[in-house]
Structure 1
Amino acid sequence: MPKFKFHRVAALVVLALSAAWVLTGEFSSVGSALSEQKPESSPDAATLHADDDKTAARLITAEPSDILPTVAVAAPDFIAHRRIVRVSGVTEPDKKTVLATRSAGVIETLNVTEGQLLKSGDVVLSLDGSEKQAAVETARALLRQRENEAANVDKLIARGISPKTQADDAQSALTAARAQLETAQAEFDRLQVVAPFGGIVDAVEVEEGSWATTGEAVATLLALDPIIARGEVSERERDLVSIGSEADVALVDGSLLTGTVRYVSREATAQTRTFPVEVAIANPDRRIPAGMTAEIRLKAEVVQAVKVPRSVVTLDAAGNLGVRVVDADDVTAFVPIDLIDDTPDGLVLGNVPAGARIVVAGQDLVSDGEKVRALPAEAAFPDSKPEGSAAIGLSLKSSETSEAGAAERGAVASQ
C-alpha cells in the first residue's frame, strides 16, 4: 500500500475540520453579536428626535429682536447744492475774420504786424491806385461845376429869363455828377483794407510791394475779449443750462476762470445729438488764447440734496442706483436717487425723502420691506467734517457694525 505524504494528510485534516465547523453554524454569531451591541455613548433614535424638537421649540419661542438682521443707519443733513454739469470744450475767439483785398494791385503800404492790436476802422494795408485817386478828383470837380450850373439856372428862372424846364436839366446833371463821384470814391476805397472790429492780428499773409489779387487773404484778426469756451451738453442735461447762468472753466494749465453762459443752441448736432453751448469769459489782457482744451462746469439751479460716502450707494434688483432707507417702523425700502455731483469727499444725491434714515452699513444684506434692527451710526456723513475724515469714520463704523451683527446672528443660529 502506498504511503501518503505528510502534506496530503495535513490537507485532508484541515478540510475535515473546516467542514465540521461549517456544519455547526457557529460562524453566524460573530456578526450578530456585533450588531446587537450598542455603545453606551451613542444616542438612540428617540434621543435624537427629542433634541430636534427642543431646538425647534427654542427657535420658535425666541424673541423677534434676536433674529432680526442688524444695520447701521444715519439721518443725513440736507444742504443747498448747485448741480454741476461738466462738459469738455475748447476756447475760441469771440470773433474771427480773415481780411482780404477787394481789388487787385500792388501793396503800397502794409500797416500791421503779427500780434498787433487794432481798433475798428484801422487801415491794414493800401494798394497802389493813382489812377483811381485821379478819377475821384475829376468827379469831385465835375460835381462842383454841376452845382454852380444848377445855382445859375435857378437865378435865371427866378428873374424870368430862363424857362423852368432848364431847372430839371440842371438837376439831372447834378445828380449824375454826384453818382459819378460816389462811384469813383468807392473804387478808391477798395484799395484799402480796414479792420471791421477791434482785435489782435494773429497772422499776416502778404508782404509790402507784392501783387495782390482780388479777394486775396491779407491777415487774420481775432477778438479775444471776451474769450469763449465752447462745448456741447447732452439731451438730458440741456434743460439744466440757461442763458445768463454762471459757469466755471478749468484750463489745461490749471487756470480756473468764471464766466457766463451766453448761448445755448436749440438744435442738436446731428452726429452726436448734443447741444452746443457757449460761455463768455472776460479776457481784457488777452492772456487766454484760443484753441485751449477746457473743462466747462455749468452751474444749474440750487437744489436740496444730501452728501453721502460712495459706500452708501447700492443697486436694486433691476440695476437702478439708489440708497436703502429705514422708516419709523424699522422697515427697509429702496429709494432711487439722482446723482447730482461727485466730489472728493462724497456723492451729492437728490431725490432722498425728508426725514429718511439711510442705511450706511448692511444695506446689501437686507431686502425691501424687511424688518431690521437699526443702530445709529455716528459721523456717517461728511457735511461738517474735514475732507476724507467722515468717510474714514463711516468705514470704521460700518465695519464694526457689520462684524457685531454677524457675530450676533451667528450666536442666535448656534443656539
Structure 2
Amino acid sequence: MTVASHNNKNRLVPAGIAAVVLLVLASGTWLAVRAEANVNKVALADAPKGVTVALAQSSSFRAERRYVGTLEPWLSARVGPQLASGFVGTVLVRPGAVVKKGEVLATIDCRNASAASQAIAHQARALSERQKAAAKEASRLGELLDGGYAAPNEVEQKQAAAAANEAQMQALLAQSAGKSLEVDDCVLRSPFDGEVSSRFADPGAFVRPGAAIVEVVDRGVVRLSADVPEIDFDAIAPKTPVKIKLLATGKPLTGEVVRRSPSADTSTRTIHFEVDIPNPGRNIPVGTTAEIHVDVGDPMPATEIPLLSARVRGKSATVFVVDSGVAKKQTFDVFGERGGSLFVATVLKPGTQVVTQGRSLLSDSDRVAAKVEPSAAPAPTPSAVEVAK
C-alpha cells in the first residue's frame, strides 16, 4: 500500500505541471488576441478628423455706412461780461438749473462804472445849461446885429461857442451811454429759455470782457452733426433716413438728414451733415456721441455663415465645406459682415455644412467626422450690412 500510494503521487506531479502549462498558454493566447484586436491598423492620416459644422442660411444683404457724430444743443451761449471788468458779486445758478429768457444768472461788482456814469451824466447836464445860455446870448447879439449895435465878429464868436458847447455835450452823452452799457453789463441775464450746463466762475473771481461765467444750452431740439468722407456725399443727401444709437443711453432712434454742407472741408476733405432730433423731454444729453447708420443701395440675396467659419482676405472668404464626409476648401465673394455673421455670394448654397471648429487642422479633401451644433448655426436675418467706418 505504501509503494502504490507513492507511485500515485509520482503520476500526479507531471499532470499538475502540464495543467499549469496549458493554463499559462491559454492565458497568453487570450491576451495576445485581445491586444491584437485593439490595435488600430488604419493610418492616422486616413482616419476621419472630428470637426464641428454649421449650416449656411439663406439671407439678404444691404450695404450700410456707419459714422460717428456729436450731439449738440440747438442753442448754446457762454454768458459773461462784454464791456465791464470786475469781481464777480453773485452767481445765482448751478449746472442743471432751468432758466427763462431774461432771468438773472450772475452779477458783477461795477461800482466804479456806476460812479463814472453818474459823473458823466452830471457833467453833461452842466454843459447843457452852459450851451443853452450861450445859445440865448448868441440869439440876443444877433438881434443887436440887425440894429447895428453889435459887431458881426462878436456874434460869430458867440455862435461858435454855443456850437462847441453843443458838441461837447453830445460827446458827454455818448460817454454816458457807454458807461450805462457797462453798468447794464454787470447784470448777466439768460439770452433764451434753457438749462445751465456749466459754471466757470464763483463769487470773488475777477473777470474781464469776453470771460464766461456760465453756459446756457437749449436742447429742446438736439442737432446730431457728423463729418463723412467726400466719397459718401450722395449717401447723406437731405431727407435720407438714418438709424441712430445714443452711446450715452443706449437708446435707438430714427431720423433723417436735414442739412448737408455743399462743400468739403479744405483740410480734411470731409462733408458735414446734421440730423435734428426732437427732445421735448430733455432726456438726451448733449456733448455726447452717437452712431449713425445709413443704408446704401438695394438689398440683394446672400448666404449667411458664422464669421468664425471663414478666413477673410479683402473681398474673398476661404471656407471648408463638408460634402459626403470630405472637407473641401472653397473661396467665395464676400458682401459684408455684421456681428458674428458673414454674408457671401449665393454660390454657397443654403443648407451646406461649413466647418466652424477644427479648421486649423484641415487640408483640402481631408475626411472628417462632422458634428452639427444647432447653436452654432446662424439664424436667418431679414437683411445684412456692410460696415464702413
Question: Could you state the TM-score of these two structures normalised by the residue count of structure 1?
Answer: 0.48
Q: Highest relative contact order (Cα 8 Å, sep 6+), 1 or 2?
A: 2
Tell me, in whole angstroms, the C-alpha distance in 1 between the residues paired with 2:131 and 2:344. 83
Note closer, same or farther for the CA distance 1:151–1:245 as it changes in structure 2 (3 Å cut). farther
Tell me, in whole angstroms, the C-alpha distance in 2 between the residues paired with 1:212 and 1:319. 60
Tell me, in whole angstroms, the C-alpha distance in 2 between the residues paired with 1:194 and 1:389. 55
- Once the two structures are TM-superposed, the CA of residue 240 in structure 1 deviates from its matched residue by 2.0
- Once the two structures are TM-superposed, the CA of residue 248 in structure 1 deviates from its matched residue by 3.2
Aligned length in residues: 259
Larger fraction in strand: 2
Amino acid at match of 1:191: C
Residues 260-409 of structure 1 mapped to structure 2, 5 A cutoff: 260-264=257-261, 266-267=264-265, 270=268, 274-298=270-294, 305-310=298-303, 361=349, 388=380
Tell me, in whole angstroms, the C-alpha distance in 1 between the residues paired with 2:260 and 2:246. 20
Note closer, same or farther for the CA distance 1:217–1:306 as it changes in structure 2 (3 Å cut). closer
- Once the two structures are TM-superposed, the CA of residue 360 in structure 1 deviates from its matched residue by 7.8
Note closer, same or farther for the CA distance 1:94–1:83 as it changes in structure 2 (3 Å cut). farther
Note closer, same or farther for the CA distance 1:158–1:115 as it changes in structure 2 (3 Å cut). same
- Do residues 86 (structure 1) and 51 (structure 2) align? no
Q: Secondary structure at the match of 1:309?
A: strand
* Percent identity (aligned): 23
Amino acid at match of 2:208: T
Tell me, in whole angstroms, the C-alpha distance in 1 between the residues paired with 2:294 and 2:128. 64
Query: Which residue matches 2:206?
Result: 212
Answer whether contact 1:132 1:184 (CA < 8 A) is retained. Answer: yes
Residue deviations 1:353-403, cap 9 Å, x none? xxxxx87849x9xxxxxxxxxxxxxxxxxxxxxx94999xxxxxxxxxxxx
Note closer, same or farther for the CA distance 1:170–1:245 as it changes in structure 2 (3 Å cut). farther
Match of 2:89 among 93, 97, 108: 108
Note closer, same or farther for the CA distance 1:181–1:83 as it changes in structure 2 (3 Å cut). farther
Answer whether contact 1:86 1:297 (CA < 8 A) is retained. Answer: yes
Amino acid at match of 2:69: G
Amino acid at match of 2:259: R
Query: Which residue matches 2:327?
Result: none
Answer whether contact 2:236 2:260 (CA < 8 A) is retained. Answer: no
Note closer, same or farther for the CA distance 1:212–1:88 as it changes in structure 2 (3 Å cut). same
Residue deviations 1:316-368, cap 9 Å, x none? xx9868xxxxxxxxxxxxxxx9969989999899xxxxxxxx87849x9xxxx
- Once the two structures are TM-superposed, the CA of residue 289 in structure 1 deviates from its matched residue by 0.1
- Do residues 242 (structure 1) and 240 (structure 2) align? no
Q: Secondary structure at the match of 1:168?
A: helix
Tell me, in whole angstroms, the C-alpha distance in 1 between the residues paired with 2:76 and 2:382. 50
Residue deviations 1:65-120, cap 9 Å, x none? xxxxxxxxxxxx9xxx9975321233233444544455443332322222123345
What runs of 5+ residues in structure 2 fail to find an aligned partner? 1-59, 144-154, 306-312, 317-332, 353-378, 384-389
Answer whether contact 2:334 2:342 (CA < 8 A) is retained. Answer: no
- Once the two structures are TM-superposed, the CA of residue 136 in structure 1 deviates from its matched residue by 1.6
Residue deviations 1:222-271, cap 9 Å, x none? 3323222233323332232124544332223342334443244611664x
What runs of 5+ residues in structure 1 fail to find an aligned partner? 1-76, 313-317, 322-336, 350-357, 365-386, 392-415
Tell me, in whole angstroms, the C-alpha distance in 1 between the residues paired with 2:295 and 2:136. 75
Tell me, in whole angstroms, the C-alpha distance in 1 between the residues paired with 2:267 and 2:112. 51
Residue deviations 1:141-179, cap 9 Å, x none? 333444455455555555635653344223212222212
Query: Which residue matches 2:105?
Result: 124
- Do residues 176 (structure 1) and 161 (structure 2) align? no
Note closer, same or farther for the CA distance 1:231–1:171 as it changes in structure 2 (3 Å cut). same
Q: Secondary structure at the match of 1:206?
A: coil
Answer whether contact 1:345 1:388 (CA < 8 A) is retained. Answer: no
Question: Could you state the TM-score of these two structures normalised by the residue count of structure 2?
Answer: 0.51
Tell me, in whole angstroms, the C-alpha distance in 2 between the residues paired with 1:258 and 1:149. 72
Tell me, in whole angstroms, the C-alpha distance in 2 between the residues paired with 1:137 and 1:256. 59
Amino acid at match of 2:99: L
Amino acid at match of 1:140: A
RMSD: 4.6
